[in-house]
């Protein structure tokens, strides 16, 4: 029986200490009135709500910044896409013109030397365009170009830039172009 009394007494002490610790954690001081406790609780709730409001405001501002950045990036991608499409169409028309002249001969009565000079001028123009492009964008264009034209253009492009462009190509395409550049230099 003494054993049960000791256990009961221990539980009662633990319960009182637990309640006391809880009250202190809540900021309640023994002897405070219920109104004072309620006011303190309301102040804590208000502070917590204010912190949440500030976090929400920060999150909204971050979302706004991200949305603006996404809009700028979208415009940049669209601008680059249009430039690539124009360059691709220019390359395609030059390719078709070159193929037609190969098959039919010059339609304007130009001599071989004149055609060669015109092609060299076109190559320099394309090389200048490639030098102004980022390597990844240039690599995308090269993927659809005729190998002979790619070799001629990359020879005119600054060696560092052409190296970066080759590095941005698919490995098989880069190997093929590099081999063509090496083989045509030997001739």
**Residue 127 lies inside a defined structural domain of this protein:** yes
Domain assignment present for 81: yes
- Domain membership flag for residue 124: yes
> Residue 122 falls within a domain, yes or no?
yes
Separation in Å, CA 25 to CA 6, 22, 84: 28, 5, 66
Mean pLDDT of 63-69: 95
If you average pLDDT over residues 116-135, what whole number do you get?
84
**pLDDT above 50 for 6:** no
Nearest to 148 by CA among 81, 86, 102: 102
Nearest one of 144, 134, 128 to 85, comparing CA atoms: 144
Q: What is the pTM of this model?
A: 0.45
pLDDT tens, residue by residue, 14-35: 555 555 454 455 555 556 677 7
- With cut-offs at 50, 70 and 90, classify the pLDDT of residue 105: low
Six token digits for residue 94:
């030059």
CA pair distance 119, 103, nearest whole angstrom: 16
- Is residue 80 a part of any domain in this protein? yes
Give how many domains the chain has, as a whole number: 1
- pLDDT tens for each residue of 38-50: 888 888 998 998 9
Quick check: is 16 in a domain? no
The whole-chain average pLDDT of the chain stands at 78
In a domain, 14, yes or no: no
The gap between the terminal CA atoms of the chain, to the nearest Å, is 112
The answer to whether residues 138 and 168 touch, using CB atoms and an 8 Å cutoff, is yes
* Geometric angle at alpha carbon 98, from 94 and 100, rounded to 5°: 115
Domain for residue 138, yes or no?
yes
Question: Could you tell me the residue range of the domain that residue 65 belongs to?
Answer: 38-104+112-186
């Amino acid at each position: 029986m003494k054993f049960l009394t000791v256990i009961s007494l221990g539980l009662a002490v633990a319960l009182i200490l637990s309640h006391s610790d809880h009250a202190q954690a809540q900021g309640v001081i023994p002897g405070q009135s219920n109104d004072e406790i309620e006011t303190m609780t309301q102040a804590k709730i208000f502070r917590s709500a204010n912190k949440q409001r500030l976090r929400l405001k920060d999150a909204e501002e971050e979302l706004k910044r991200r949305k603006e950045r996404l809009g700028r990036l979208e415009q940049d991608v669209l601008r680059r896409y249009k430039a690539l499409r124009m360059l691709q169409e220019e390359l395609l028309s030059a390719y078709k013109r070159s193929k037609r002249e190969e098959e039919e001969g010059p339609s304007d009565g130009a001599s071989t030397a004149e055609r060669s000079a015109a092609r060299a001028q076109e190559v320099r123009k394309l090389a200048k365009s490639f030098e102004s492009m980022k390597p990844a964008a240039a690599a995308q264009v090269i993927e659809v170009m005729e190998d002979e034209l790619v070799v001629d253009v990359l020879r005119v492009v600054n060696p560092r830039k052409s190296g970066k462009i080759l590095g941005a190509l698919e490995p098989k395409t880069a190997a093929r172009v590099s081999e063509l550049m090496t083989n045509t230099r030997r001739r």
